[in-house]
Amino acid sequence: MVKLRTDAPHQIRRPHHLRQEAKTRNDAPTDRRKLAVFALDGALTTRDSLLPFLLFFARRQRRWRAICLAPFLIAAKLCRLCSDHRAKQLLVRLFIGGEQESTIDAVASEFSRCWLPKHLRDVGMEKLREHQDAGDRIILVTANTDIYAPRVAQELGIEEVVSAKVLRQDNRIQGWIVGDDCSGCGTLEYLADHLHDHEAPKDSYAYGSRKDLPLLRWVRHGYLVGRNQLVAIKREVDA
């Protein structure tokens, strides 16, 4: 168990070489930097960020119908009348289906500036700063979608993002999530595809919550992020 200092206020630090818009990219196989993977919700934020983003968007765009219907979808999910993935599909389509990409991107930028700083987790942010200062390769992973994850990554100073993709057509968001669920084991599969390697790099670290345990057990050094401490997780091969 590793206890970390949390008394100092955290700030979102954006190194000068990371000022360009965050985007998904594949580094060359010769990249010898340490790899640090951060799960957005649970490791870097204190709560799930998808619903707050959707509500933020609805208020800005006056989508009152979506706000009124959302509780019924959430109740169906909690009562297990539909899967988490299906509920997420329906919520995304309800709130942003048919919207222009440019409109959503503008709101995502505002959301990242306004909501994110108030909901950062001190422990995760301290580790993120350490890896950034060391010049390590950092990847943000999230089971939520690419409608706002790249803007959040940009605000955090992270270049690479692995997230679920939302279907687009004619510069409009259709709302349907492409592919399988990008959570739990799904997150690990998406990350392995992004790295073009299903074997964890030798110097690899990951930080997340309990729902990210497959990822934490895959890397060489996985840590469960608590309120003010990190808990080391045994690798899957060592279990």
> Residue 201: pLDDT band by 50, 70, 90 thresholds?
confident
CB 136 within 8 A of CB 34: yes
Q: How far apart are CA 44 and CA 122, in angstroms?
A: 8
Euclidean distance between the first and final Cα of the chain, in Å? 18
The CATH number of whichever domain residue 126 belongs to comes to 3.40.50.1000
CA of 193: how far to CAs of 19, 41, 53, in Å?
26, 21, 27
Per-residue pLDDT tens digits for 58-101: 999 999 999 999 999 999 988 888 888 888 889 999 999 999 99
Print the domain residue range for 100.
2-238
Per-residue pLDDT tens digits for 170-194: 889 887 888 666 565 667 888 888 9
State the total domains in the chain. 1
Torsion of CA 25, 175, 49, 73, to 10 degrees: -150
Torsion of CA 149, 36, 230, 150, to 10 degrees: -10
Q: How far apart are CA 236 and CA 218, in angstroms?
A: 6
Report angle CA 216, 222, 225 to the nearest 5 degrees: 90
Strand ranges of the sheet holding 35-39, from the earlier edge strand across to the other edge: 2-3, 229-233, 221-225, 204-208, 35-39, 137-145, 160-169, 172-178
Residue scoring higher pLDDT (22 or 130): 130
pTM of the prediction?
A: 0.81
pLDDT at 182: 58
